[in-house]
Copies of this chain bind each other. A is one copy, B any other.
Amino acid sequence: MARVVVDVMPKAEILDPQGQAIVGALPRLGFAGISDVRQGKRFELEVGDDVDDATLESIAETFLANTVIEEWKVTRL
């Protein structure tokens, strides 16, 4: 068994309204100095030892990320 993390983030050129809402709210809550926030998703997978990296990339690309608007990164812990 191995633990794998897939991070999925909106591409840089894509508007991120959730992140912008957070940036806008932080000063009102008394937190200064945060100039940008992007919100994405994090998946933690428990995978068998026979699952290779190509399969994990395929899962991330075809299933976990929307490749039109999101970029993703697969990391084995």
Q: Which residues of A contact B (CB under 8 A)?
A: 1, 7-9, 19, 22, 25-26, 29, 31-48, 50-51, 55, 58-59, 62-64
Distance between Cα atoms of A1 and B26 in the complex (Å): 17
Distance between Cα atoms of A7 and B44 in the complex (Å): 11
Q: How many copies does the complex hold?
A: 2
Query: Do A50 and B37 contact each other (CB < 8 Å), given the known contacts A26-B63, A63-B22?
Result: no
User: Which of B26, B29, B46, B59 interacts with A36 by CB under 8 Å?
Assistant: B46
Chain B residue nearest to A8 in the complex (CB):
B42
User: Which of B22, B59, B62 interacts with A34 by CB under 8 Å?
Assistant: B59
State how many angstroms separate the Cβ of A32 from the closest Cβ of chain B.
8
